[in-house]
Amino acid sequence: MSQPILTRRSALAGAGALLAAPAILRAQIVPGGDPFALGVAAGDPAPDGFVIWTRLAPDPLGAHGGMPMAPVPVQWEVAADPRFAQAVARGEAIARPELGHAVHVEVGGLSPDRPYYYRFNVGRERSLTGRARTAPAAGSRVDRLRVASVGCQHYEDGLYTAYRHLAAEDLGFVFHYGDYIYEGRGRTRRIDYDGVPRATVRAYVGDELYDLADYRRRYAQTKLDPDLQAAHAMHAFVTTFDDHELDNNWTGDGDQDGTPPEIVLLRRQAALQAWYEHSPVRAASLPRGPAITMARRAVWGDLADFRFLDTRQFRSRPPCGDGFRPACPEVNAPGAHIIDSAQERMAALPAAGIWTVFAQQIMMMTMDRRRKVDEPAPIMNLDTWSAYAAPRERFLHNLNGRRDVIVLTGDEHQNFAGEVRDKAGRAAAIEFVSTSITSGGDGQDLRPGSDVMLANNPHLKLINDQRGYVVSDIERDGWIADYMVMDRVTTPGGLLSRRARVTVPRGEARLSVG
């Protein structure tokens, strides 16, 4: 295992100072404003490098981000230290208007398993500094990896204080499960799960999102948040998408409104292009019409094999009318699918005796959602794997009895931990469902009826309704998941604490909560 070159304290101090540093004199090539107002980000770490990202937008909410309709050269550099005294790579990329003047640079040739620093320049204008860590060399011994699972960050529901706390964590990377933006129109109030209206904390600009300009502006407004920028600047993200990057509960070429498929695909093309433009992902994910390659794989030395799934583009239409309701016969449709055949083959690959981790968007555990003892029939969330019984059972069967499988999930706006059981009741995996960053507002420890849910679902070991994220310490002989929660997100100064610690012994599909 390689030795650390910089301490965490020096890394935070150096990058933190640079985060706070003002940009230098304005470049004449970009009119007005700070062209790096949306910050920087890194993603998809590999043993020899990672992707670095920025988007030029001196007027982030204005037409074209305030940029001229022309390509603009952007200089980038990577260094082994936050002062850039030890530069290791540099070059020039072109920020093109066709991609909203976003820049994606795939940096290679770096050393494995160590931190690096990066920044961008346009003329005399300089971005803030970002930090990212490379993955260990393939097959090298790794004793520990620390990762975080985040997502569901409705801008209107709360402040991104959790991201400020996340920026101070010591992590290999951050898995973002999706719902980076929400597609609805700006509003002054929201209706909670309990039917009670509550004021929004801050409002989106604009109406429902339909075209590329709409989606670009929504990402820009989101990325202006300084706490989100801090988290991106301190950690590489592996970014995926769920539904709200396009429209609530969309699947394939369908939406909840019965819109003609060809129109849904036009909207999907705009939405996924905007997701690509604002995500630190590789050129392999450049959209081709309405299609995009989001599923991918990353192996972390000899410790963990991550498979990042796409549960939206290839999914059949939801059965039973979608929503939360009793199951119908279509739940068992043999021709249904959630992921495509290429992902199924990737999921079935053996993992050479290391942790196999499926990082994806929707709950894989079965769940009876009843919260009252007098409800007659089990309630199902039809936007989960359970509503697609045939592909779910096939997926679990293809795990071939492995006992070191972990599923990382989001979407639910609650914390859950439990066993993923097949139709015979055998535990095939352990699932950690991370709550939202903000979606749902402050929440509380337990929603009413949580005791009923726990009683009706013996495979479920943890439930919680606060905001925050999950940090996983992955070790050779076990997995430790810390459920970190905020005391509030609707007002500034929210405090972070550990709500629960869940442990999984290596080789056993069982978990304990402490």
Q: What is the pLDDT of residue 325?
A: 94
pLDDT above 60 (res 334): yes
For residue 450 the two structure tokens come to 């949580």
Poorest-confidence range of 104-118, 125-139, 192-206, 333-347?
A: 192-206
Question: Is 22 within 8 Å of 125 (Cβ atoms)?
Answer: no
> Count of residues for the chain?
514
Whether residues 225 and 347 fall in one domain: yes
Q: What is the model's pTM?
A: 0.93
- Residue closest to 239 by CA, chosen among 275, 268, 272, 209: 275
pLDDT band at 13 (very low <50, low <70, confident <90, very high): very low
Per the structure, the count of domains in the chain is 2
What percentage of the chain exceeds 90 in pLDDT?
88
Q: What is the pLDDT of residue 192?
A: 75
Whether residues 395 and 276 fall in one domain: yes
For residue 126 the two structure tokens come to 């300089």
Whether residues 92 and 220 fall in one domain: no
Residue ending a domain, choose from 138, 160, 184:
138
Residue ending a domain, choose from 80, 114, 138:
138
Whether residues 102 and 189 fall in one domain: no
Q: How far is CA 359 from the centre of its chain?
A: 9
Bridge-based pairing of strands 236-239 and 173-176 is parallel
Residue ending a domain, choose from 90, 123, 138:
138
Amino acid code (one letter) for 307? R
pLDDT in tens, 205-221: 999 999 999 999 999 99
Distance (Å, rounded) from C-alpha 433 to C-alpha 472? Answer: 12
Distance (Å, rounded) from C-alpha 378 to C-alpha 369? Answer: 7
pLDDT in tens, 401-431: 888 999 999 999 999 999 999 999 999 999 9
Residue at token pair 């960050």: 153
C-alpha distance from residue 407 to each of 33, 188, 431, 479 (Å): 43, 36, 4, 12
Distance (Å, rounded) from C-alpha 298 to C-alpha 405? Answer: 15
Distance (Å, rounded) from C-alpha 143 to C-alpha 1? Answer: 8
Q: Containing domain of residue 81, as a range?
A: 1-138
Bridge-based pairing of strands 125-126 and 115-122 is antiparallel
Question: Is 105 within 8 Å of 130 (Cβ atoms)?
Answer: no
Whether residues 199 and 258 fall in one domain: yes
What percentage of the chain exceeds 70 in pLDDT?
94
